[in-house]
Amino acid sequence: MQSTRSMGPDPYFPANGDPRYRVHRYELTLDYRPGPNRLSGTARINAIAGRTQLTEFQLNLADFRIGRVRVDGKQPHYTHRGGRLRIRPAKPPRPGAAFTIEVHWSGNPRPVASPWGGLGWEETEDGALVASQPVGAPSWYPCNDRPADKASYLLSVTTPSAYAVVAGGRLLTRTTKASTTTWVYEQAAPTSSYLVGLAIGTYQTVLLGDPGPGGVPQHGHIPAHLLPRFSRDFARQPAMMELFQELFGPYPFDEYAVVVTEDELDVPVEAQGLSLFGANHVDGVRGSERLVAHELAHQWFGNSVSLADWRHIWLNEGLAKYAEWLWSERSGGRDAGRLAAAAHRSLAALPQDLRLSDPGRKLMFDDRLYQRGGLAVHAVRIALGDPAFFRMLRGWAEQHRGAAVTTATFTSHVARYAQEPLDGLFTAWLHETPLPPLPTAGTRPAV
């Protein structure tokens, strides 16, 4: 498995994350009051120093009031400006040594600015939600905000008892005292900082299908008045889960939750073990079913198998897009070939300035990346043939479970399943900007 722990700063977001150390575990204790939008928190962060003595390091954290910082129990020198908490320990951890950071913070959380608008913590009509991709995690907790630095999480959230708290992971306890309730969630699987999801609101909770022995518990958390529409729109999610486990391998986490907010969202947002949808994605006629499939597929592609850095985002979105097409194909809709042809026609009429393997920050969420990513996966399917292609997909999810990968990791993996070199295919689809011809059965990859 390819290691990415020692890689340098993310070229798209060099101010986020610190490659000089890695985090093993976050323990976050939060108290949130929705009325005044007031958040106070304590983070205990277990980390491991890199190859050099850690005389200074940084966490990313938005503009909160800092109440206390400790490194291995001792007060360090620190500054907090521009979303960076720079820390100089009194006793620097030695290379490879474990150390503990403690941070207390408080304030009014709000989204952090980005080229795509506000990201991270956001007040809703009745509560709050977190949608952090790609750099919104520091809007609510201190973190080493780089996708390759994956850690386990223990998350304790106290709110007024009228509100439910939903997070990705297993609910360990729910304890009510006086007028507040504390919810404690555990996410044991390695998790990127942007994938820590949270929703606070007045939800009705329903079970989506009967998981049975060894099955995956799936729950929906929905405003009560949206339940009739939700029940139809998400009725086939258990069948999607069954299909994707057949195609991609076992579901990589303990549980899967879906939250629908009262607010409208431009697009649904994936988190680890959790997906967030807006009220506009629930129409009662399954109008957003492809998005239900897309977000579920991200649990394998993007969440379990994560990115070394944001240049490789097509691996998340291209594979999730193709999962949409596979669901359509297997559930009585149009097959992947027809959906690929429609995507190709659409892309052919658009500018040819997108390099899939390194789109640049400006284009990393361009719809063309999703469509061309799906087409690139389809081209691989045509080149390999179905038996080898589906062995390749399952092997990708299983062999890199919990890891962070690059485009080169993927192409090397695919090559092991090919009977002839695929260098020309990869160059045309991933590294050059002109749109290659539509891949069809019977065509041979360029060499």
Give the active site residues.
295, 370
| Cβ burial 371-385 (10 Å sphere, 16+ → b, else e) | bbbbbbbbbbbbbbe
Q: Measuring CA to CA, which residue among 143, 153, 148, 152 is closest to residue 121?
A: 143
Q: Which residues on neighbouring strands pair with residue 228, listed in sequence order?
A: none
Enumerate the known binding-site residues. Answer: 294, 298, 317
Enumerate the known binding-site residues for Zn(2+). Answer: 294, 298, 317
How far, in Å, are 192, 216, 222, 284, 292 from residue 227 at the CA level?
Answer: 31, 21, 6, 9, 16
Q: By the 8 A CB rule, do 276 and 198 touch?
A: no
Report the C-alpha dihedral over residues 190, 192, 195, 197, rounded to 10 degrees.
60
